[in-house]
Amino acid sequence: MLSIVIIFLLISVYLYCLLGGADFGAGIIELFTGKTKKERVKDLVTNAMAPIWEANHMWVIITVVILFMAFPGIYTQVSISLYIPLIILLIGVVLRGTAFTFRHYDAVHDHSQVIYSRIFAVSSLLVSFFFGLIIGALVSGKITVNPTSYFEGYLHPWINLFSISTGIFICSLFAFIASVFLVSESTDQDTRELLVKQAKLNTAIMVLSGAMVFIFSFIEGVDFAQRFFRHPASIAAIILATIALPFLWRILNKGLIWTSRIIAGAQLFFILAAFYFIYFPEVILLKEGSNISLYNAAAPDSTLKVLGWALIIGSFIIFPTLFYLFKVFKIDRSSP
């Protein structure tokens, strides 16, 4: 049953990065769009995201529930050591969700729209950055179970160049996914060109920050790069993600909606797969040299069994309804 629970955990993380990531990325794109085109991008984001954003963010709830039920050791250690970035992440989640809804549902469209938009866009960047930073912090090997000082226990695990570079990497990754997703939602040529430009820009930032992740891992003494080169599967996954890029550009320019989305989704998959091959089953690398893994932190069998069944039955309910939601709003485009 442990493997079924782990499979669902991986699926949830992937779908959160894909769907939630597209949503966060949309906010980032809005943030970095020039004044003249801001209004148009804003309308595009609102129309594209409004029916589905709530559902997109449910994956993080599923992830958290799996973590605290099946891997309580991971959940509690993260809650303690990465307490501060998690709080900032939560503040961002609360602010961006409410700002997005308020912007959409405010009966009067006045200056407050600008404030909602600003909060939505800035907190989108904030949440993505801290999400990436937390991922980096998990494997930075700086988390300790017996801290001797406040700095060592609660700051150093995430205030380091390696975690910061993973934060930046995730921001550009989310913005990339969002731009590919939004291109096909847009009907006017101007906005499409803007988004294709954004997609290319974010790819460049992704490559740069990806290089930074490697460089900073050496500087900070994180064994990320060494581990990466030890795993041929990870190298292969990153190569696949990279060679998909030229195909994506051609297709984006041709306007093939679903092919471009599937390629971007596959690229995300390869990037996460590389991460998986490097670290599985380890989740938290401790300063002490040991680790907290999906195996050594797993809950007793009786718990895993009921969770596994709950997830299986739940997925029979969630996936068809979710598919229906996407079918109505994203696949059947015939009616306005």
Q: Which residues bind another protein (CB under 8 A)?
A: 50-52, 54-55, 57-58, 60-62, 64-66, 68-70, 72-73, 75-76, 78-80, 83, 86-87, 90-91, 93-95, 97-98, 100-102, 104-108, 150, 153-154, 299-300, 302-303, 306-307, 310-311, 313-314, 317-318, 321-322, 324-325, 328-329, 332, 335-336
Helix (H, G, I), strand (E, B) or coil at 145: coil
Our CB check for another protein shows the closer of 189 and 334 to be: 334
Our CB check for another protein shows the closer of 65 and 236 to be: 65
List CB contacts of 188: < 8 A, sequence separation 6 or more: 40
Asked whether 94 and 60 are in contact (CB, 8 A), the reply is no
Least distance between another protein and beta carbon 238 (Å): 31
Least distance between another protein and beta carbon 21 (Å): 16
Our CB check for another protein shows the closer of 3 and 226 to be: 3
d(CA 213, CA 29): 22
Amino acid at 141: G
Least distance between another protein and beta carbon 195 (Å): 22
Our CB check for another protein shows the closer of 233 and 313 to be: 313
Least distance between another protein and beta carbon 27 (Å): 14
Asked whether 264 and 122 are in contact (CB, 8 A), the reply is no
- B/e letters for 9-23, b = 16+ CB within 10 Å, e = fewer, are bbebbbbbbbbbbbb
Our CB check for another protein shows the closer of 69 and 236 to be: 69
Does a cis peptide bond (omega within 30 degrees of 0) precede residue 157?
no
Token pair for 324: 């229906």
